Structure 1
Amino acid sequence: MKKKAMALTVAAMMAAAMITGCGQTAATTVETAADTTVQTQESTADTESTAADTAAADGESYTIGISQFAEHGSLDNCRTGFLEGLKEAGIEEGVNLTVLFDNAQADTATASMISDNYVSQKVDLICAIATPSAMSAYNSCLDSDIPVIYTAVSDPVSAGLAKEDKTPEGNITGTADTLPVEAQLKMIREVLPDATKIGILYTTSEANSLSTIETYKELADDYGFEIVESGINTLADVDMAAADLAAKVDCISNLTDNTVVQGLQTVLAKASAAGIPVFGSEVEQVKNGCLAAEGIDYVALGKQTGAMAAKVLKGEAEAPDMPYEVCEGANLYINTEVARDLGITFPENYEADAAEVFETVTVE
């Protein structure tokens, strides 16, 4: 289509030159214009092909499936970081990568159907975001040679995905978002010096939540806290459980529990009615109304996962030979609007030390 348009343009210019009687000068002008047009088109074509040629220099293209268990900020950030990590390794969506993406909407049966579908389509790799999706993908791929790379799995060992030494249980590996529980407890003690009871709401079927609560219990005494837990089965349970829990404790510390995070606004409303704060576990929860958090950077976690996946896709490593990795360190996030509303004053160094300070509550 572009070549035909160019030919029509040149013909029109030549006709105009003959009508005006400009002779050789007009012809030269026409030739110059035609040459310029051709060169411009060739240059554009060269530019468009350079990225594809560079990215696919090894002659490979890939199709992957991304199975995300629920829709919330931290998991969305993981997916964003994962694709960025692949891109940095030369594997880019739309160039040499086709991405199939599905969200299970916090339903384990749906997560299983998603991973089964990816296996039937014979994708090159499955990226599973969050523990239930990782477990589903692992089970779906048992009779295939499709590798699974997971992320946002708090405890791969408890989930049956890895051994105590971090080596994989099969053709699966990835990254763990193990929460910095001790840093969180230390922060809560500094912000609420008189608090004695911390409430934790969790989903009884989420292995990562059960594991994290045990860590809270092990460390709570060191900071003078008692952990009061409340288990739920579905999102519909959050309303009543949060109201009951908020009446018993001095604050609530939220996990990365997928079902509870989906009901975060309900938890915040019940806590606000009781006049107590909710501490988050990552940046998005603080942006959405939690008072503060010592949490990990989920975009960085995703990038780390993408780098691992790239090695597997390129044949530089095999998933069973790669121990799972942990995102090290914790960042402080605070919300000053929430603090004002609750009449809480942060320690004087908090605003200066925080990785990010939110002055308003933003719910997306």
Structure 2
Amino acid sequence: MIAFISALVIFLGAAFVMTGKPKTSTASTKKVPTVGILQLQTHPALDAIHRGVLAGLKEYGYVPGKTVKIDYQNAQGDQSNLKTMSQKFINENADETVGIATPAAQALATAAKKETPVILAGITNPSGSGLIKSDQHPGGNITGTSGESPLKSHLDLLRQLVPKAKTIGIIYTTSDHGGEYNAKKFARICKQEGVAYKLYTIANTNDMQQVAQTMANNVDAVYAPQDNGVASAMKTLVSVTNKAGVPVIPAVDTMVKAGGLATLSVDQFQLGKVSGEMAARVLKGKATSDYPIKVITKGKMTLNMTAAKKLGITFPASVVKEAQTKGVIYK
């Protein structure tokens, strides 16, 4: 009897090993990472960066809804939303976050408390805004891309297209660090080149109509830097300046599409794509602290034929050829 019971125990034990216990998979189950993307507001340039970020992640195998969860939040220009949305990412344990526009990146950096990785997507002068120590050695949980406008080239283009312009109006948003940085840097270049200029500011997009009217009466051409407030109110700006016969040279291709005359623009989609690729590498384990900021400055010629016709401006053949071969022409 004892021998029978012993044999039965051995048999059942062997059967359990063979059929009752789930096999441990040789391939460990991988957690699908979560990436929180915070965008300051809706306008074509920031939307293009957002699409680029998703493309960059996908390039490295992170497909939204399949191999990565994307939590996309748009603050619609509301600073209080930025704080709430940033904290939401942290509370829900996002693996990393991506900031589109300086205020969004600053809100993410504050919420992350130097722990959760933050990827910058086209942030102007990130060290000057206190986000990192330096471009080469960010020194913490933050890295990404910086889209520096080719400001001297913008001035050269403006002078080529509007050679009789004596005074240039430069407009920016007081609450936009990148816009102020670009506007004042452009003003310094004008001073070095002996070009007269006047600075104009808006507090928000609601100010654009009145400020644009004042500016159009006092300048011969307008420079609109890479500035979120100005970009959002671009159609208002050009509707005023076109009536006054004053051309607008903006910093970004999407602002040309919205009515600006021409520019040499950093490709916003490509800027976002590089940020997405950097985000993917960080997800795969690359440390942010010694991951240099990628500064992108190369621009492509972008022309608006409709705007030129309204203003009675003829583009030089060399400029048209460059746009045809390496850039964009809006008709």
TM-score range, shorter-chain basis?
0.7 to 0.9
Give, in angstroms, the shift of residue 167 of structure 1. 2.3
Q: Is the 8 A contact 2:143 2:289 kept in 1?
A: yes
Which residue of the partner structure matches residue 70 of structure 2?
A: 99
1:79 corresponds to which letter in structure 2?
Answer: H
Which residue of the partner structure matches residue 216 of structure 1?
A: 186
SS of structure 2 residue aligned to 1:308: helix
1:189 corresponds to which letter in structure 2?
Answer: R
Which residue of the partner structure matches residue 110 of structure 1?
A: 81
Which residue of the partner structure matches residue 197 of structure 2?
A: 227
Q: Equivalent residues in 2 for 1:166-315 (5 A)?
A: 166-168=136-138, 170-315=140-285
Q: Is the 8 A contact 2:120 2:143 kept in 1?
A: yes
Relative distance call for 1:318 and 1:164 in structure 2 (3 A) is closer
SS of structure 2 residue aligned to 1:244: helix
Q: Is the 8 A contact 1:159 1:207 kept in 2?
A: yes
Cα deviation digits, residues 242-263 of structure 1 (max 9, x gap)? 1111111111111221111111
Q: Is the 8 A contact 1:68 1:102 kept in 2?
A: yes
The number of equivalent residue pairs is: 302
Q: Is the 8 A contact 2:176 2:229 kept in 1?
A: no
1:320 corresponds to which letter in structure 2?
Answer: S
Uncovered stretches (5+) of structure 1, i.e. residues with no partner: 1-55, 360-364
Which residue of the partner structure matches residue 324 of structure 1?
A: 293
Query: Structure 2-normalised TM-score?
Result: 0.87
Cα distance in 1 between the residues matched to 2:136 and 2:122: 15
Give, in angstroms, the shift of residue 165 of structure 1. 4.8
Give, in angstroms, the shift of residue 170 of structure 1. 2.6
Cα distance in 1 between the residues matched to 2:212 and 2:108: 31
Structure 1 runs of 4+ aligned residues shifted over 6 Å read: none
Cα distance in 2 between the residues matched to 1:353 and 1:105: 36
2:310 corresponds to which letter in structure 1?
Answer: D
Counterpart pick for 1:126 among 97, 106, 109:
97
Cα distance in 1 between the residues matched to 2:68 and 2:243: 48
2:51 corresponds to which letter in structure 1?
Answer: T
Cα distance in 1 between the residues matched to 2:66 and 2:48: 22
Which residue of the partner structure matches residue 61 of structure 1?
A: 32
Uncovered stretches (5+) of structure 2, i.e. residues with no partner: 1-26
1:298 corresponds to which letter in structure 2?
Answer: Q
Cα distance in 2 between the residues matched to 1:226 and 1:301: 32
Relative distance call for 1:228 and 1:57 in structure 2 (3 A) is farther
Q: Equivalent residues in 2 for 1:31-110 (5 A)?
A: 59-110=30-81
Give, in angstroms, the shift of residue 128 of structure 1. 0.5
Q: Cα RMSD over matched residues?
A: 1.7
Relative distance call for 1:164 and 1:314 in structure 2 (3 A) is closer
Percent of matched pairs sharing the same residue? 32
Cα distance in 2 between the residues matched to 1:287 and 1:210: 22
Cα deviation digits, residues 301-360 of structure 1 (max 9, x gap)? 111111110111011x1112212111131111001111111101111211110101111x
Cα deviation digits, residues 150-180 of structure 1 (max 9, x gap)? 1121110111112245422531111111111
Cα distance in 2 between the residues matched to 1:205 and 1:339: 31
Q: Is the 8 A contact 1:183 1:330 kept in 2?
A: no
Cα distance in 2 between the residues matched to 1:323 and 1:280: 28
Cα distance in 2 between the residues matched to 1:322 and 1:91: 20
Matched, 1:345 2:314: yes
Cα deviation digits, residues 160-206 of structure 1 (max 9, x gap)? 11224542253111111111101101101110111121112111121
Give, in angstroms, the shift of residue 222 of structure 1. 4.6
Q: Is the 8 A contact 1:150 1:305 kept in 2?
A: yes
Choose between structure 1 and 2 for higher RCO, CA contacts under 8 A separated by at least 6 residues: 2
Q: Is the 8 A contact 1:199 1:249 kept in 2?
A: yes
Matched, 1:140 2:104: no
Give, in angstroms, the shift of residue 135 of structure 1. 0.6
Q: Is the 8 A contact 1:106 1:258 kept in 2?
A: no
Cα distance in 1 between the residues matched to 2:44 and 2:259: 13
Task: Give the structure with higher Rg (CA).
Answer: 1
